[in-house]
Chain A
Amino acid sequence: MAAAALSMPEIENKAMNLGIDLSTIDFDNIVLPPGDDFGINSDDEDILHEEEAPEFETGYGNVIVVDNLPVVSPEKFAKLEGVIRKIYSQTGVIKEGGLWMPVNPDTNMTLGYCFIEFNTAQEAKEAKEKTDGYKLDKSHIFVVDMFDDIDRYMNVPDEWTPAEIKPYEAGDHLQHWLTDEKARDQFVIRAGTVTEIFWNDARQVRPDPVYQRQYWTDSFVQWSPLGTYLATVHRQGAAVWGGKSTFNRIHRFPHNQVKHIDFSPGERFLVTYSSQEPSNPRDTHRVVLNIFDLGTGKLMRDFRGSVDDFTTGGSGGLSGISWPIFKWGGGKEDKYFARIGKNAIYVYETETFILVDKKSYKVDNVVDFSWSPTDSILALFVPELGGGNQPARVSLVQMPGKVELRQKNLFSVSDCKMYWQSNGEYLAVKVDRYTKTKKSTYTGFELFRIKERDIPIEVLELDNKNDKIIAFAWEPKGHRFAVIHGDGPRPDVSFYSMKTGGITARVSKLTTLKAKQANALYWSPAGRFIVLAGLKGFNGQLEFYNVDDLETMATGEHFMCTDIEWDPTGRYVATAVTSVHEMENGFHIWSFNGKLLYRIPKDHFFQFQWRPRPPSLLSPEKEEEISRNLRKYSKKYEAEDQDVSLALSEQDRKKRRSLQEEWETWTARWKQYHEEERELRLQLRDGEASDDEGSQEQYEAKEVEAEEVLDVHEEIVD
């Protein structure tokens, strides 16, 4: 950085002249006077300057040039001006004196173009978008440009110069955290203004700090889906960080006022989103979406438009977008992304960033869709139409080609929700149907077996059809799912399996747990274990349940708990109270079987997120082999565990001893003072012998009976 101000030899020369030996100076300890940076920008200021730059450059961002106007004589000048003013005051507020139509001084005729200055750059942009190509009459079609653009095109050099090829720099080892010797996992927390990253060191029963930084992000942080990057969000855009030992900035993605970000599941792309309030309250919000390539940091495509274009039918509204707008499909290769529009689904491919088959996929009245997590299969939901004449429909569509693989018509449906199993083997559709009277609804499930021939569908209804479904969750990579259902304050939890009944597998119930204080389900990412959690109204009841053996391993409570997250390996569970409440903020770490390992209170706790891991490189066969010979492997780790716990208790003993010794030196000194001062104290008490501190002499509580004559009365007895 310093090199920007002075080159190194210059510094050395200067130092020589001043008689300073540079090798004796500790540069890290030099503190500049506050407010003066001697022209050396820090890394962070850099961002500020760079991305805001275009606006500072000229300040003509709010000016447009309208070309192809009629050439008129001075008599008609006022009329033309009036027409232009009328056209452009529809799109924005023209500044006072902001309309200028130059006139040829020789002929007094206009030159066929004019400049319009708006109040804001945004209005100018909008005016350009709306009126470029506007037909005043047959021979006068407006050509509208930003004033800045003209400037820019003027400055393009006429000769092509070859791009400078930068020398290759070896990148940081972005997956270094996976090579941790103790195979620990990392997590990020955000509390107050500080963002911190820790190792979860369960053996030492405490978090081990990795990195921390104040004001790292303006709103939130987010790991990429495979854990390679940590994304931060700023006013000027998003940034991703990663690296071997500390977190270095890998890329910046400029996007003013970015609100949401989303990674593609294979970590190839980053989507950023912002919406801007319209200057005219009657207009809708303007939305900007950018898709960047994560590897290079390049902008691949941007989408702009009014918020209406990005929402479907009913739930328009001001900020009626549901994030993420783009859903990624095609498995880990990030082949496709799609968004829903009115009567159509727009599917783009990432090779070219244009629509598949160059057109949208028309589906009348489609309201919801989702991708299979592994294949290029879309599931669509179209609601009932025409008062029940046209049934609701769920269909599976293969991409590319838009081949409908399976379709199911459903009657008297009020709502549908789709749940994919993480391997894309099953799709569960939760269907809410009206009862005959149409006054209430009941719920059933349609279960699709995607990987089987012809995609068979099974219908599942709960034992008590009228139960409300509170939560539904597939076992990750598994064949089971859990449902919380019931109406009362203590709902039931049921487990079902898709793999029962021999060769032709059928769905069947494994068990129902009655009257649980639970309203959320958290499967372990490795399957088999599940946390039944009672958040919100249930005050944070936790039940750790083993679905293989159908037994409860442990119950716990994290009072007021708001968030629960399994670590990516399924070994630990984090429960957190984030600052939606004022009290109790912080997080607890539990083992998978429900043992509370440690708790960390943190005020103003905003976020807890485990760093995800990429999928295992072991083949399923190898994994099975390992789990069969688990005992062989576990011996080594058990020995290690024991060593650690021994060392810990030894450490603990030492610490306690030293604390105790330290205390004893203090008390010895105090005793000495106390003795020395005895005489003086006695004087202060006027020589009263009972020195002080009462505890030496015991008092005794004595019952004293006192009799008192109240009245004397004589009576003669017969």
Chain B
Amino acid sequence: MRPILMKGHERPLTFLKYNREGDLLLSCAKDHTPTVWFADDGQRLGTYRGHNGAVWCCDVSHDSTRLVTGSADQSVKLWDVQTGTQLYSFNFNSPARSVDFSVGDKLVIITTDPFMGNPSTIQVKRIAEDPEDQTSDSVLTIKGPQGRINRAVWGPLNKTIISAGEDSIIRIWDSETGRLLKESDKESGHQKTISSLCMFTDKSHFLTGSADKSAKLWDTRSLTLLKTYQMDRPVNAVAISPLLDHVVIGGGQEAVNVTMTDRRAGKFEAKFYHKILQDEIGGVKGHFGPINALAFNPDGRSFSSGGEDGYVRLHHFDPDYFSIRM
């Protein structure tokens, strides 16, 4: 499995996203320009210029026409995927951390960081059919959780919102009323900051990764803990294979602790685990900084990883990957 090394960002990667068809890969980094690539051969298609700060997260609409990006410049911007023109900018008074389109792409969840005395929020905005009619009014604003909310995504049928963040608790909210429906158990749940959350394609279950060196699999509807994958390093990024019963977990020693020691010391591999048996399948080495972002191609035949080192590594699986027996 020879990876394609995609050098386009000048700063650490923060997020990766495939479009539904799996032909485009969108990457966000701490430099200010989200980039779109051909998911097949890693050619750079273009960039989205306009942000003035690190871009933390993005999402692309079902029909691959609209891109939404959340940035530390306190704005969330809506783009035309094809032309790269900025359609609209939602402005906040604190950095935006995560964005997620609803089913049908009419709504988007945006989370903002606690900043200058403002608490963290989860906000729902309506996306107008015609960008001309777009307003910045919030349909719903949820406040409450302490600390940063690192990720908030839609539950099945846009009925719920699932959020996770620094307080290491996963919460399920009613997306109509903003009422808190469920909270993850403190004992069995994560013990430290949840850094990432990845929803399975049919939204039935999701995977969370945490600085407590574990990743956990949860039922979306009941919030029951299904599986725990124990790692030996803090987890920054997780992804679930849409094709096989595999999950991939990445992370590494915190960037501040990465010293002059051997590259192996940092544990910058992406580790594959069997989703059901929780056994380690293998690892993919390559990055020389912690892995910050992971994404599976929707066809499950390739995946890409983005690291603190500023590179995106695109891996097409070898044929023997598909015949791994556990």
Given contacts A694-B21, A699-B21, contact A674 B157 (CB under 8 A): no
CB-CB < 8 A to A496: which residues of B? none
B301 nearest in chain A by CB position: A695
Judge whether B253 is part of the interface by a CB distance below 8 angstroms.
yes
Interface assignment of B262: CB less than 8 Å from any CB of chain A: yes
Determine whether the beta carbon of A695 is less than 8 Å from that of B267.
no
Contacts of B266 in A (CB 8 A): 583
Task: Identify A695's interface contact among B219, B243, B253, CB under 8 A.
Answer: B243
Instruction: Tell me the smallest distance from the CB of B163 to a CB of chain A, in Å.
Output: 21
B265 touches A686 (CB 8 A): no
Closest to B204 in A: A670
Shortest CB–CB separation between residue A31 and chain B, in angstroms? 18
**Smallest CB separation, B165 vs chain A (Å):** 23
* Chain A 654-685 interface 0/1 with B at a Cβ cutoff of 8 Å (1 = within): 00100110010011001001100100110011
Number of B positions contacting A (CB below 8 A): 38
Residues of chain B in range 283-298 having any CB-CB distance to chain A below 8 Å: 298
Q: B102 — which chain A residues lie within 8 A by C-beta?
A: 684
Minimum distance in angstroms from B316 CB to a CB of chain A: 13
With contact pairs A693-B242, A695-B299 given, residues A686 and B264 touching in the complex (Cβ less than 8 Å): no
Q: How far is the CA of A694 from the CA of B301 in the complex (A)?
A: 13
Within 8 Å by CB of A677, from B21, B156, B201, lies: B156
Is the Cβ of B104 less than 8 Å from the Cβ of A685? yes
Judging by beta carbons under 8 Å apart, are A670 and B202 in contact?
yes
Q: Least Cβ distance of A674 to chain B in Å? A: 5
Select A684's contact among B21, B158, B253, beta carbons within 8 Å.
B158
Q: Which residue of A lies closest to B63 (CB)?
A: A688
A673 contact set on B, CB distance < 8 A: 156, 204, 221
Within 8 A of A (CB), among B269-326: 276-277, 298-300, 326
B158 to A583, Cβ gap below 8 A?
A: no
Assess A681 versus B157: contact at CB under 8 Å? Given A659-B276, A663-B276, A674-B204.
yes
Q: CA A584 – CA B253 in complex, angstroms?
A: 10
Chain A residues lying within 8 Å of B97, measured Cβ to Cβ, are none
Please name the residue on chain B nearest to A652 by beta carbon. Answer: B277
Known contacts A666-B226, A698-B299, A699-B21: A684-B104 contact under CB 8 Å:
yes
A692 within 8 A of B: yes
Asked whether any CB of chain B lies closer than 8 Å to the CB of A559, the reply is yes
The answer to whether B157 and A680 touch across the interface, beta carbons within 8 angstroms, is yes
Measured between beta carbons, the chain A residues less than 8 angstroms from B243 are 695
Distance of B89 from chain A, by nearest CB (Å)? 26
Contact of B103 among A584, A666, A684, A699 (CB under 8 A): A684
- A582 contacts chain B at the CB level, 8 A cutoff: yes
A674 near B22 with CB under 8 A, answer no
- In whole Å, how far is A539's beta carbon from the nearest beta carbon of chain B? 6
Whether A681 contacts B21 by the Cβ 8 Å rule is no
Chain A CB within 8 A of B257 CB: yes
> B62 near A: Cβ within 8 Å?
yes
Q: Do the beta carbons of B257 and A670 come within 8 Å of each other?
A: no
Q: B41 — nearest CB in chain A belongs to which residue?
A: A701
Cβ A584 vs Cβ B204 within 8 A:
no
Q: Is B40 an interface residue (CB 8 A)?
A: yes
Chain A residues near B202: list those with CB within 8 A.
670, 674, 692-693
Q: A431 interface residue, CB < 8 Å from B?
A: no
Give chain B residues whose Cβ lies under 8 Å from the Cβ of A693.
20, 201-202, 242, 298
CA distance A652 to B141 in the complex (A): 49
A305 interfacial contact with B, CB 8 Å: no
Alpha-carbon gap, A686 to B103, bound state (A): 10
Does B176 count as interface, using CB distance less than 8 angstroms? no
**Interface check A560, CB cutoff 8 A:** yes
Given contacts A666-B219, A666-B226, A677-B157, contact A694 B204 (CB under 8 A): no
Q: What distance in Å separates the Cβ of A194 from its nearest Cβ neighbour in chain B?
A: 16
Q: In whole angstroms, how far apart are the Cα atoms of A586 and B233 in the complex?
A: 13
Q: Are B277 and A656 in contact (CB under 8 A)?
A: yes
> Which of chain A's residues has its CB closest to B20's CB?
A694
Closest beta carbon of chain A to B129's beta carbon, Å: 10
Decide yes or no whether A320 CB sits under 8 A from chain B. no
1/0 per position for B119-159, CB-CB distance to A under 8 A?
00000000000000000000000000000000000001110
Bound CA–CA A659/B274 (angstroms): 11
In the complex, what residues of A have CB within 8 A of residue B21's CB?
Answer: 694, 697, 699
A601 within 8 A of B: yes
Q: Is B77 an interface residue (CB 8 A)?
A: no
Evaluate contact between A701 and B40: CB separation under 8 angstroms: yes
In the bound complex, residues from chain A placing their C-beta under 8 Å from that of B158 are 684
Is B22 a contact of A686 with CB atoms below 8 Å? no
Q: Which residue among A559, A673, A674, A686 has the maximum number of chain B CB atoms within 10 Å of its CB?
A: A673
Residue pair B205, A670 in contact (C-beta under 8 Å) = yes
Q: By the criterion CB–CB under 8 Å, are B298 and A584 in contact?
A: no
Contacts of B262 in A (CB 8 A): 539, 559
Chain A residues whose C-beta falls within 8 Å of the C-beta of B232 in the assembled complex: 584, 586, 601
A91-135: CB near B (< 8 Å → 1, else 0) gives 000000000000000000000000000000000000000000000
Distance of B221 from chain A, by nearest CB (Å)? 7
Return the CB mask of A543-586 against B: 1 if under 8 Å, else 0.
Answer: 00000000000000001100000000000000000000011101
C-alpha gap A559/B253 in the complex (Å): 15
CB distance from B324 to the nearest CB of A (A): 15
Q: Which residue of A lies closest to B243 (CB)?
A: A695
- In the complex, what residue of chain A is closest to B230 when comparing beta carbons? A601
- Known contacts A601-B232, A673-B221, A692 near B201 by CB under 8 Å: yes
Contact A660 B157, CB 8 Å, known A681-B103, A695-B243, A695-B300: no
- Chain A nearest CB: distance from B159 CB in Å? 9
B185 interface contact, C-beta 8 A: no
Partner of B265, one of A583, A692, A697: A583
CB distance from B234 to the nearest CB of A (A): 10
B10 at interface by CB-CB < 8 Å = no
- Does A699 contact B201, Cβ atoms closer than 8 Å? no
Q: How far is the CB of B50 from chain A (nearest CB, A)?
A: 28
Beta-carbon contact of B277 and A659 below 8 Å: yes
Is B23 at the interface (CB under 8 A from chain A)? yes
> How far is it, in angstroms, between the C-alpha of A684 and the C-alpha of B156 when the chains are bound?
11
Q: Please give me the residue from chain A that is nearest to B299 by CB atom.
A: A695
- Min distance, Cβ B311 to any Cβ of chain A, angstroms: 22
Distance in angstroms between the alpha carbons of A560 and B264 in the assembled complex: 10
Hey, which chain A residues are within 8 Å of B264, CB to CB?
A: 559
A86 to B276 Cα, complex, angstroms: 82
List of B residues within 8 angstroms of A698 by Cβ? 299
Residues from chain B with a CB closer than 8 A to the CB of A699 are 21-23
Q: Which residues of B contact A684 (CB under 8 A)?
A: 102-104, 106, 157-158
Considering the chains assembled together, what is the distance between the CA atoms of A692 and B62 in angstroms?
8
When C-beta atoms are compared, the residue in chain B nearest to A661 turns out to be: B276
Question: 1/0 per position for B192-212, CB-CB distance to A under 8 A?
Answer: 000000000110110000000
Name 21 interchain pairs, CB-CB below 8 A, sorted by A: A559-B265, A583-B266, A583-B267, A660-B276, A666-B205, A666-B226, A667-B204, A677-B156, A677-B157, A680-B157, A681-B157, A684-B103, A684-B104, A684-B158, A692-B103, A694-B20, A694-B21, A694-B299, A697-B21, A699-B22, A701-B40
7 tightest A-B contacts by CB? Answer: A670-B204, A684-B104, A694-B20, A694-B298, A663-B276, A693-B201, A684-B103
Supply 12 further A-B pairs (C-beta < 8 A) apart from A583-B257, A670-B202: A582-B257, A583-B253, A666-B204, A667-B204, A674-B204, A681-B103, A684-B102, A692-B201, A693-B20, A694-B21, A694-B298, A701-B23
